[in-house]
């Protein structure tokens, strides 16, 4: 016989499941899978494409985001001259999540598969924002045959001790508590994030309509929220191992870094990368963690230089 407490918990849990199902249906209707599903290692990668001709450019989004991040910012600046491939990372957007996807090696392998199928025999300029910068670096390390050059936007590159991680990622990433905890996220997550967007762009202003244009609401579907939490929780240890290999990079690298980034500390990431890799570092005064918005034209110019071989080591 159910106790009153157990009955209350069961009803609350059922209500959260119903709420999350309704939320998922609504947000997926608002932001449907509009790209191509590319099978890689038995798991689909969802890829948006802009442009039909020219050299390939692969764009990899950061944490708490999806491929739409680039669809209205960088892609329109490049689509006349390039094939811009914007991939959802494993478990994000509409990409499936293979086993071990919380490792940078698996994430990079999925991105490599996209290039092998959508740009066979070609090298791509690879663009990575924040967490996507770590994946882009791993792709360049593991598959340099696919990478013409790297453009990194406010990248996370090195271990930092794990400080500053949001408390909710610990619960969402938990094998024991994660599934139930994540069912509650649609109840409070969207409102909290919409209110906190300015902090990600600070001190630059957030673009009008950013939340909807980038499809950020897709994050709060329970499986996507858990995938994001697991990625972030493991990243520090992953980068501790990966960063030892950066001296092997031979392709040109351009980095855009906001001098007032409050999401990551540039001195713990870009400054350390610069001691290991010759790179073109563009320091943006009065800019935060999203340099490809206010400085999209400059980022697009850097991509063009790398694609045409105008910038070499």
C-beta separation of 101 from 107 below 8 A:
yes
Residue pointed to by tokens 């918005």: 293
DSSP 35-55: SEEEEETTEEEEEEEE-SSSS
The domain locations on the chain are 34-163+234-307
pLDDT, tens digit only, all 313 positions of the chain: 334 333 233 334 435 666 899 999 999 999 999 999 999 999 999 999 999 999 999 999 999 999 999 999 999 999 999 999 999 999 999 999 999 999 999 999 999 999 999 999 999 999 999 999 999 999 999 999 999 999 999 999 999 998 888 888 998 999 989 999 999 999 888 988 887 899 999 999 999 999 999 999 999 999 999 999 999 999 999 999 999 999 999 999 999 999 999 999 999 999 999 999 999 999 999 999 999 999 999 999 999 999 998 665 4
The Cα angle at residue 267 between residues 261 and 268, in degrees rounded to 5: 100
Phi/psi of residue 186, each to 5°?
A: -60, -20
Compute the radius of gyration of the chain from its Cα atoms: 19
Q: How many CB atoms lie within 10 A of CB 26?
A: 12
CA distance 258 to 153: 9
Phi/psi of residue 174, each to 5°?
A: -65, 135
Q: Report whether the peptide linkage leading into residue 203 is cis, meaning its omega lies within 30 degrees of zero.
A: yes
CA distance 91 to 69: 16
pTM score > 0.85 for this model?
yes
CATH number, span 34-163+234-307: 3.40.50.1820
pLDDT digits (tens, 9 = 90+) for 158-180: 999 988 888 889 989 999 899 99
């Amino acid at each position: 016989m159910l106790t009153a407490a157990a009955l209350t918990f069961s009803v609350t849990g059922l209500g959260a499941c119903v709420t999350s199902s309704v939320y998922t249906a609504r947000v997926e209707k608002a932001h449907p899978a509009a790209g191509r599903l590319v099978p890689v290692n038995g798991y689909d990668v969802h890829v948006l494409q802009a442009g039909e001709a020219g050299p390939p450019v692969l764009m990899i989004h950061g944490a708490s985001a999806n491929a739409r991040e680039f669809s209205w910012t960088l892609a329109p600046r490049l689509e006349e001259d390039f094939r811009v491939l914007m991939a959802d990372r494993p478990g994000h957007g509409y990409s499936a999540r293979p086993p071990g996807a919380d490792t940078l090696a698996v994430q990079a392998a999925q991105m490599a598969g996209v290039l092998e199928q959508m740009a066979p025999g070609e090298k791509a300029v690879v663009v990575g924002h924040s967490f996507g910068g770590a994946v882009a670096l791993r792709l360049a390390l593991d598959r340099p045959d696919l990478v013409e050059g790297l453009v990194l936007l406010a990248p996370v590159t090195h271990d930092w001790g794990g400080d500053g991680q949001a408390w909710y990622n610990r619960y969402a990433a938990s094998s024991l508590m994660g599934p139930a905890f994540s069912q509650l996220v649609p109840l409070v997550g969207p409102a909290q994030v919409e209110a906190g967007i300015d902090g990600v762009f600070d001190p630059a202003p957030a673009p009008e309509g950013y939340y909807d244009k980038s499809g950020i609401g897709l994050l709060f579907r329970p499986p996507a929220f858990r995938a994001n939490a697991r990625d972030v929780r493991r990243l520090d240890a992953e980068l501790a191992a990966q960063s030892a290999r950066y001296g092997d990079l031979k392709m040109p690298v351009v980095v855009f870094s906001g001098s007032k980034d409050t999401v990551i500390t540039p001195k713990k990431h870009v400054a350390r990368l610069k001691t290991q890799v010759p790179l073109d570092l563009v320091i943006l005064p009065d800019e935060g963690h999203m340099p490809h918005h206010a400085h999209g034209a400059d980022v697009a110019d850097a991509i063009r230089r790398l694609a045409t071989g105008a910038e070499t080591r």
